[in-house]
Amino acid sequence: MADFILELYSEEIPAGMQAMAASHLQKAFCDAVRALGVEAEGVSSHVAPQRIALLIDNLPLRTEDRSEERKGPRVDAPEKAIEGFLRANGLTGTESLNIVDDPKGAYYVLSMNQPGSDMADVIAALVPQIIHQFPWPKSMRWGSGSLRWVRPLRAILCRLGGNIIAFNVENIQSSGVTYGHRFMAPDAIEVKHAGEYVAALKNANVMVDASVRAAMVAEGAAQVCARQGLELVEDSALIRETSGLVEWPVPLMGRIDDAFMSVPDELLTSVMRTHQKYFSVRDPKTNALAPFFVTISNMETSDAGHTITSGNERVLRARLSDGKFFWDQDRQTKLADRLSALDKITFHAKLGTVGQKAKRISDLAEKIADKLGLNKKLAKRAGLLCKADLVSGVVFEFPELQGIMGGYYADHDQEELGVGAAIKSHYAPLGPSDDIPPTAYGQVVALADKLDTLSGFWLIDERPTGSKDPYALRRAALGIIRILLETQTSISLSDYISDALNGHAIVSEHLSNQGRTEPEIVNDILAFIIDRLTVFLRDQGLRHDIVAASLTDQASNLVEIVARAEALGDFVNTVNGADLVAAYNRAAGILQKQKGGLSSAVKLSLFSDACENELFNALSELETSHETQSADGLVRYLEALSVLRNPVDVFFESVLVNDPDPAIKQNRLALLAKLVESMNHVGDLSRLVKG
């Protein structure tokens, strides 16, 4: 056994491609040697901006001898089929083939004994193949060669047990050396064994462990801030990205000109984060952004980074000047005066303009607000203005600030209090970890926007298929779910889906084209949302079959649906509940096996055992005492249902359902049918997975 090291050294690899590259290199190599019967031990991979490395602690020096039998065509198969098999295996005749008989007839078998190979020869042939077939999302070709790589490949380090594995890829000869930091330690470094690799490069100012590099970025940036009595604004995504841009992270703090601190925090942060990869800094005393930023340099300098910091401050000054210019210009035009410009922007060719969408959102937000007892006028105004910032200068330059800037402009225009906050957050939540809008009016406008989007695309039959969801309709559905559940807002979604559909001027035309009715489209959209709800609840730990069992045909209130599902889940997890579900399955199974009709009425005169009367009385009391349409009613019903456990158990222990007397048998079957019907008041228990 020997250790193995492979490093592919190139120009800078984009940060977003690095993790994929390291994973693919490891998988491609290990899969290839596994196919030869070799299982690598102690495998790890590393990636930095200029290199991908694969390290293996133990790899055999030689593959084992292998025997293989390859089944061929039948002996009486057409000649062309036999010739094809021979040609594929490099044979000229059938003399070397064995013939095996089986009940279906004789067929040829090729027995092959493959001697083992030196692992060095295997690697020398394998690595060039992996390099040439590397699946970069984007690649380039340079010079006169045919190799495509993400950036020009410069060197290949490859050793097995300290010995160099020799091969050539596009005039790049493998060797036993790598290179350190481009500026701080650019000389060649000899690395003989895998165990030396990480330390050798660290000594040459290259931190090849991506997780350690990210920790250096986070901790170093926080320390730079702490020395000034400030705090780093947390941004895990930016930490990951910047750690992929440098091989030796050196955090430096720069200053922002005071003239730019009057622009909104989000604009400042967006300019720094998106365009410059700078971290924002907060003053812990005021919780406001401080006039500083942190940049991650790739090198230590003799002037402690002063020149680098000054250069970054100049670049940021120019960027922020653009942002401040647009901010100042935008405020000279009222947000409401931008509405006419929205009519010139197409939302979708079949769904009209953004201006038309804003009017639909406005009308729907008014209806939802009215239902919730909120100010209809305020909700309507917020919905009308929520898209107006799309034609502003800041949002044109910084699209990620849409909605946010509209909120600032609404406040500047002195719109009614609450309108700006609603506009600012109406796109939320954008993802599973994103917060919902913090205000009631923001939630109303967000619901109206998402319902309008779903209804529109369903109306033109542009719904998600498989993994494709170009209009982010699943995200819209999840946003609706989270807003309603996290605020415990009880509304009938069907009503508002219907309102959203009818807000489209083209509703009649498209319903006619599809040959469908409005209720059918409403039910389709509702089913889509409930399907996403099932996935959401499963991720929260609630079984999908319990959710399915608790649904009713008219289920449209998500808060009620979840409450019913949770109540049913709690019930089936009790001893009484589990036993009753088992009894339900037993009763339903007996009823399904019966041929012909069943008697619908239970006749007390045919009872021959006290247990029958006891079960009948318990069921009669249950169905007359409780309603199950509301979640609270369902909880009370389930509590009452648990009382059935004892009479049901006694019934099955004491009597034979399939009594020889046909009349008694039919009566007992009718009693079981009454049991099943009573339990189905809580939902369709047949959907529960039988445990």
> What contacts 525, CB < 8 A, 6 or more positions away?
454, 455, 458, 497
User: What pLDDT was estimated at residue 675?
Assistant: 86
The token pair that represents 454 in the structure block: 């779903």
Query: Are 401 and 479 found together in one domain?
Result: yes
346, pLDDT greater than 90: yes
Range of the domain at 263: 210-330
Mean pLDDT, residues 244-251: 96
pLDDT-derived band at 599 (thresholds 50, 70, 90) equals: low
**Nearest-angstrom CA–CA distance, 280 and 293:** 5
Is residue 549 in a domain?
no
**Tens-place pLDDT, residues 56-79:** 999 998 887 777 778 888 888 898
Query: Are 73 and 41 found together in one domain?
Result: no
CATH for 472? 1.10.3210
Query: Are 197 and 281 found together in one domain?
Result: no
* Least confidently predicted of 25-29, 57-61, 411-415, 570-574: 570-574
The token pair that represents 584 in the structure block: 């339900």
User: What pLDDT was estimated at residue 566?
Assistant: 87
Q: How far is CA 216 from the centre of its chain?
A: 28
Query: Are 509 and 493 found together in one domain?
Result: yes
User: What pLDDT was estimated at residue 624?
Assistant: 59
| Mean pLDDT, rounded, of the chain | 90
Is residue 137 in a domain?
yes
**Nearest-angstrom CA–CA distance, 197 and 193:** 7
639, pLDDT greater than 90: no
> What contacts 531, CB < 8 A, 6 or more positions away?
none
Spell out the SS3 assignment of 631-678: HHHHHHHHHHHHHHHHHHHHHHHHCCCCCCCHHHHHHHHHHHHHHHHH
Query: Are 54 and 189 found together in one domain?
Result: yes
Query: Are 83 and 14 found together in one domain?
Result: no
Is residue 559 in a domain?
no
The token pair that represents 104 in the structure block: 């279906």
**Nearest-angstrom CA–CA distance, 89 and 293:** 66
**Tens-place pLDDT, residues 283-300:** 999 999 999 999 999 999
Q: Is the dihedral of CA 288, 292, 297, 303 positive or negative?
A: negative
Mean pLDDT, residues 229-235: 94
Is residue 563 in a domain?
no
**Nearest-angstrom CA–CA distance, 643 and 548:** 24
Is residue 555 in a domain?
no
User: Are the CB atoms for 277 and 211 separated by under 8 Å?
Assistant: no
Q: Is the dihedral of CA 323, 325, 326, 328 positive or negative?
A: positive
Q: What is the largest CA-CA distance in the chain?
A: 103
161, pLDDT greater than 60: yes
**Nearest-angstrom CA–CA distance, 464 and 497:** 18
Is residue 552 in a domain?
no
Instruction: Write down which residue in 152, 183, 203 finishes a domain.
Output: 203
**Nearest-angstrom CA–CA distance, 625 and 246:** 71
Q: How far is CA 342 from the centre of its chain?
A: 32
Q: In this structure, which amino acid lies at residue 508?
A: S
The single-letter DSSP state of residue 609 is S
DSSP letter for each residue of 487-539: TT----HHHHHHHHHHTSTTHHHHHHHHT--HHHHHHHHHHHHHHHHHHHHHH
633, pLDDT greater than 80: no
User: What pLDDT was estimated at residue 116?
Assistant: 76
**Tens-place pLDDT, residues 303-324:** 999 999 999 999 999 999 999 9
User: What pLDDT was estimated at residue 71?
Assistant: 86
Query: Are 678 and 594 found together in one domain?
Result: yes
**Tens-place pLDDT, residues 483-534:** 999 999 988 899 999 999 988 887 777 777 777 888 889 999 999 999 999 8
**Tens-place pLDDT, residues 450-473:** 999 999 999 888 989 888 899 999
Instruction: Write down which residue in 180, 203, 226 finishes a domain.
Output: 203
Query: Are 185 and 73 found together in one domain?
Result: no
Is residue 435 in a domain?
yes
**Nearest-angstrom CA–CA distance, 10 and 595:** 75
Nearest Cα to Cα of residue 263 among 400, 424, 409: 409
Task: List C-alpha distances in Å: 240 to 246, 269, 551.
Answer: 11, 17, 42
Instruction: Write down which residue in 142, 174, 203 finishes a domain.
Output: 203
Q: How many domains does the chain have?
A: 5
Q: Counting every residue, how long is the chain?
A: 691
Is residue 550 in a domain?
no
